[in-house]
């Protein structure tokens, strides 16, 4: 890491947490090559391939996720990020490949066992359980519930005490995510952003070691985004590892310790968030290989902002109709 | 018109054997469909294997009544395992297709000429209920006041039936307030979300299928014992559809919904039937014959159900708020 970036970091965050420092230290001096080995990987992926007919959606040769860090997975639409998540978490069957979580093989393990092992994901299209209350959504996330066994369920005294403890945990998390006022409402009555918050809070009820968030900030207003970002940083500070998919580069720069770039199914580059967007391979991936000249980081940002402004104008027009 | 007959049969039907056995079938469907979101269209087969399990064990094998009950229950569990194992991992509609086909297969096997020695062909089996009525604590006679009375046999089967209904409702009440029931309801909303939280969705769906099937199978026993016989065509597809109608009428995912639904369903059917047949006999409806009364009452009840779905889609007990969100 260059002196310039570390000074920028400290000025942005006057009190940089120990965990963040540790995470940044781990990434110091790492090569920028796709699949670069990490000092203490929690997740190691080898040769994962997924084809849909003739289309190869995912073809990841090798990638490692550093324990205790926030890693961003970015890439253009259709790059295969969600499909890659689906393979790793057992929601889809990979055509080939092996991966280990905490040294334990996870290839071919069904989704619920992956979650139990401590690797929990959220979905790009939020999955709130509509006709359950917010609190029930949260309680569902807790593991090893005695009352989830058929016979014990019939005897309330067998699970009451545990249920109370779970409820307490849930209330704490709900308060942290500013959802406590909604606790008795049906999840189906929440707004899109609130559902994102609920889904993330619910995933935390599992007490995961690795949290995989698929576009957690999509459709969330800027104020709420700030609080979500805060929550994600909290996760690292509590010792969890976070892998998240995000399109907004400002956010990626703000919270991630390391960025992995995917394009057309493959990992094409890795690197620290403040320099990754100036990597020629990344620019190629986002803008196509035949653009005129290599863009500087500021030019790229300019382009992105222009595109964003155009999009916003369009949306405004749309809503005014 | 004989209003006394119309009123007495109608009132009696509110607590009669039909109401009991359809309530049991519907409580099972409510567990499958109302709580878990499983489309089991083969509930009649669960009732059938139970009724025939009892009948064949007692009449053909000559074993005691209780063994017959055990065989019937085991058959229901086995049927759930057979139906669920290949289909519960697939999309919801596959279970619907497989169950409706399986129920027809079961009925046609009971009906078949090849197995006439075992199942009795289209006549079915009779003469297996003595063991049950031997346990009857009520001495021979009529019980009740005036026209509201039942003979000792009917009273005994109704008592047992309502105890079973009460027990089933108690079990559903306990389960659906527990974490186990929470997993079921969550599966109804979104299976993948439940998987992502570390629950074995397949196992819970199977448990739901077995539980609902076994409770439905109690309805099969009640039928066999009340009429002292089983015939294959009683366990046809329309029996399942009646059970669904009852669940929707009472309000899905409500503990007492199926019971109240069943009472209303049978009261309406019997009342409409009574009024129509009396009116036809008295010549008030010249364009109808008494043979047409049977089908017409179903048309009228169906019409009522359509109106209910339009004006009160959540059923009698349902929560209006829940209808506000898309089911999927
Ligand atoms: N079930 C499927 N059947 C066929 N093709 C699929 C399927 N799922 C994904 N794909 C294809 O795989 C590719 C990768 O899709 P994926 O959803 O993983 O992209 P993504 O990187 O998550 O994109 P986005 O940023 O837009 O969410 C796309 O080309 C998509 O069309
Ligand atoms: Mg995606």
In a domain, A206, yes or no: no
The per-residue pLDDT for A3 is 43
Which of A39-43, B33-37, B91-95, B201-205 has the least mean pLDDT?
A: B91-95
Q: How many CB pairs under 8 A join A and B?
A: 113
pLDDT at A114: 95
Mean pLDDT of B31-46: 94
B326 shares contact with chain A (CB less than 8 Å): yes
Domain count of chain A? Answer: 1
Nearest to A136 among B174, B182, B325 (CB): B182
A163 part of a folded domain: no
Q: What is the mean pLDDT of residues B279-298?
A: 86
CB pair distance less than 8 Å for A129 and B326: no
Average pLDDT over residues A122-148: 94
How many Cα atoms are found within 13 Å in the side-chain-facing hemisphere of A119? Answer: 29
User: Which among B175, B186, B201 has CB closest to A129?
Assistant: B186
Running DSSP on this structure, what letter comes out for residue A184? T
Q: How confident is the model at residue A218 (pLDDT cuts 50, 70, 90)?
A: confident
- Asked whether residue A155 is domain-assigned, the answer is no
Distance (Å, rounded) from C-alpha A20 to C-alpha A246? 20
Distance between CA atoms of A30 and A72, rounded to whole angstroms? 16
Ligand 2 centroid–CA A266 distance in Å is 14
pLDDT the model gives residue A294: 53
Residue A222 contacts residue A230 (beta carbons within 8 Å)? no
**Which residues of chain B have a CB within 8 Å of the CB of A112?**
195, 197-201
Check pLDDT > 50 for residue A13: no
- Selecting from B182, B193, B322 the residue whose C-beta is nearest the C-beta of A127 gives B193
Which pLDDT belongs to residue B327? 42
The number of beta carbons lying within 10 Å of the beta carbon of residue A178 is 14
Q: Is A141 in the pocket of ligand 1 (CB under 6 A)?
A: no
Tens digits of residue pLDDT in B107-148? 999 999 999 888 988 888 888 999 999 999 999 999 988 888
Which of the two residues, A221 and A92, has the higher pLDDT score?
Answer: A92
pLDDT value for A289: 53
> Residue B99's closest CA among B58, B41, B54?
B41
3-state secondary structure chain B: CCHHHHHHHHHHHCCCHHHHHHHHHHHHHHHHHHHHCCCCCCHHHHHHHHHHHHHHHHHCCCCCHHHHHHHHHHHHHHHHHHHHHHHCCCCHHHHHHHHHHHHHHHHHHHHCCCCHHHHCHHHCEECCCHHHHCCCCCCCCEEEECCEEEEHHHHHHHHHHHHHHHHHHHHHHHHHCCHHHHHHHHHHHCHHHHHHCCCCHHHHHHHHHHHHHHHHHHHHHHHHHHHCEECHHHHCHHHHHHHHHHHHHHCCCCCCHHHHHHHHHHHHHHHHHHHHHHHHHCCCCCCCCHHHHHHHHHHHHHHHHHHHHHHCCCCCCCCHHHHCCCCC
pLDDT in tens, B146-200: 888 899 999 999 999 999 999 999 999 999 999 999 999 999 999 999 999 999 9
Closest CA relative to residue B169, chosen from B249, B254, B250: B254
* pLDDT of amino acid B328: 36
Query: Which band of pLDDT confidence, cut at 50, 70 and 90, is reported for residue A293?
Result: low
Q: Is A75 in the pocket of ligand 1 (CB under 6 A)?
A: yes
Give distance in angstroms: CA of A122 to centre of ligand 2. 11
Residue A162 pLDDT exceeds 70? yes
pLDDT over 70 (residue B68): yes
- The protein residue with its alpha carbon nearest to ligand 1, atom 12, reads A57
Instruction: State residue A250's pLDDT score.
Output: 86
- Do the Cβ atoms of A202 and B171 come within 8 Å? no
Q: What does the pLDDT average to over A146-161?
A: 96
On whether any CB of chain A is under 8 Å from the CB of B328, the answer is no
pLDDT score of A16: 64
Tokens (6 digits) for A167 = 């409820």
**Is A153's pLDDT higher than 90?**
yes
pLDDT at position B323 is 59
Domain containing A93: what range?
18-122+239-309
Q: How many percent of chain A have pLDDT more than 70? A: 91
Mean pLDDT for A8-14 is 43
The answer as to whether A273 is a domain residue is: yes
Is A195 inside a domain boundary?
A: no
A57 lines ligand 1 (CB under 6 A): yes
In this structure, what token pair is assigned to residue A251? 């956010």
Instruction: Please answer yes or no on whether A186 and B322 come within 8 Å at the CB atom.
Output: yes
Say yes or no to pLDDT of B55 above 60: yes
Ligand 1 pocket residue status of A73, Cβ below 6 Å: no
Domain-embedded: residue A28: yes
Residue B78 touches chain A, beta carbons under 8 Å: no
B182-196 burial, b for 16+ CB within 10 Å, e for fewer?
bbbbbbbbbbebbbb
Pair type for strands B229-230 and B125-126: antiparallel
Taking contacts as CB-CB distances below 8 angstroms, the residues of chain A near B189 are 129-132
Which pLDDT does position B152 carry in this prediction? 93
Nearest neighbour of B192 by CB, restricted to A91, A149, A150: A91
CATH number of the domain bearing residue A295: 3.40.50.300
Q: Are B315 and B253 in contact (CB under 8 A)?
A: no
Q: Is residue A135 part of a domain?
A: no
CA of A12 vs chain B CAs: smallest distance (Å): 35
Whole-number pLDDT of residue A8? 43
Instruction: Tell whether the model's pLDDT for residue A58 goes beyond 80.
Output: yes
pLDDT of A79-110, one tens digit each? 999 999 999 999 999 899 999 999 999 998 99
- Give B36→chain A minimum CA distance, Å: 12
Q: What's the burial of A149, exposed, middle or buried (CB within 10 Å: 0-12/13-18/19+)?
A: middle
What is the distance, to the nearest Å, from the Cα of residue B132 to the centroid of all Cα atoms in its chain? 21
Quote the mean pLDDT of chain A.
Answer: 86
- Identify whether A132 is part of a domain: no
Element (H, E) at A232: helix A222-237
């Amino acid at each position: 890491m260059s002196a310039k970036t570390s000074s920028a970091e400290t000025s942005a965050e006057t009190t940089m947490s120990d965990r963040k420092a540790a995470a940044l230290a781990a990434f110091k001096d790492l090569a920028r090559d796709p699949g670069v080995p990490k000092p203490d990987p929690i997740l190691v992926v080898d040769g994962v391939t997924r084809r849909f007919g003739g289309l190869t959606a995912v073809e990841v040769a090798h990638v490692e996720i550093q324990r205790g860090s926030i890693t961003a997975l970015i890439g253009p639409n259709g790059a295969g990020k969600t499909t890659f998540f689906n393979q790793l978490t057992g929601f889809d069957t990979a055509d080939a490949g092996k991966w280990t979580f905490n040294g334990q093989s996870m290839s071919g393990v069904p989704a619920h066992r992956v979650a139990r092992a401590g690797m929990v994901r959220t979905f790009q299209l939020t999955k709130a359980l509509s006709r359950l209350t917010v609190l029930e959504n949260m309680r569902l996330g807790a593991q090893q519930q005695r009352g989830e066994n058929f016979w014990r369920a019939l005897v309330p005294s067998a699970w009451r005490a545990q249920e109370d403890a779970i409820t307490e945990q849930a209330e704490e998390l709900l308060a942290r995510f500013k959802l406590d006022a909604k606790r008795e409402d049906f999840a189906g009555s929440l707004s899109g952003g609130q559902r994102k918050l609920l889904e993330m809070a619910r995933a935390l009820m599992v007490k995961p070691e690795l949290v995989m968030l698929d576009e957690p900030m999509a459709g969330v207003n800027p104020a709420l985004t700030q609080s979500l970002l805060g929550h994600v940083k909290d996760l690292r500070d509590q010792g969890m590892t976070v892998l998240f998919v995000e399109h907004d580069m400002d956010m990626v720069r703000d919270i991630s310790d390391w960025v992995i770039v995917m394009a057309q199914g493959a990992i094409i580059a890795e690197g620290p968030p403040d320099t990754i967007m100036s990597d020629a391979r990344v620019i190629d991936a986002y803008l196509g290989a035949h653009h005129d000249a290599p863009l500087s980081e500021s030019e790229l940002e300019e382009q992105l902002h222009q595109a964003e402004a155009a999009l916003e104008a369009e949306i405004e027009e749309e809503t005014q109709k | 018109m004989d209003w006394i007959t119309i009123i007495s049969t109608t009132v009696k039907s509110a607590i009669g054997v039909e109401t009991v056995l359809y309530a049991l079938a519907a409580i099972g469907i409510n567990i499958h469909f109302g709580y878990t979101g499983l489309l089991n269209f083969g509930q009649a087969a669960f009732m059938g294997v139970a009724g025939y399990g009892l009948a064949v064990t007692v009449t053909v094998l000559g074993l005691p009544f209780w063994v017959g009950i055990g065989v019937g229950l085991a058959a229901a569990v086995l049927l759930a395992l057979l139906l669920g194992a290949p289909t519960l991992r697939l999309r919801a509609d596959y279970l619907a297709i497989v169950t409706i086909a399986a129920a027809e297969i079961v009925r046609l096997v009971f009906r078949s000429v090849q197995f006439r020695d075992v199942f009795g062909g289209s006549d079915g089996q009779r003469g297996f209920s003595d063991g049950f009525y031997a346990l009857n604590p009520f001495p021979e006679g009529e019980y009740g006041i005036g026209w509201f009375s039942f003979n000792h046999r009917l009273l005994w089967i109704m008592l047992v039936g309502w105890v079973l209904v009460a027990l089933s409702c108690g079990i559903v009440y306990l389960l659906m307030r527990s974490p186990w029931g929470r997993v079921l309801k969550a599966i109804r909303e979104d299976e993948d979300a439940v998987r992502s939280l570390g629950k074995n969705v397949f196992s819970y769906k199977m448990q739901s299928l077995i539980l609902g099937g076994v409770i439905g199978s109690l309805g099969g026993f009640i039928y066999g014992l009340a009429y002292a016989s089983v015939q294959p065509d009683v366990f046809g597809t329309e029996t399942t559809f009646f059970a669904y109608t009852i669940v929707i009428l009472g309000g899905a995912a409500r503990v007492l919904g199926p019971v109240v639904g069943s009472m209303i369903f049978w009261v309406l059917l019997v009342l409409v039937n009574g009024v129509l047949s009396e009116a036809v006999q008295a010549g008030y409806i010249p364009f109808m014959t008494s043979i047409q009364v049977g089908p017409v009452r179903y048309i009228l009840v169906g019409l009522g159900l359509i109106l209910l779905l339009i004006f009160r889609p959540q059923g009698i007990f349902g929560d209006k708020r829940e209808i506000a969100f898309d089911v999927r």
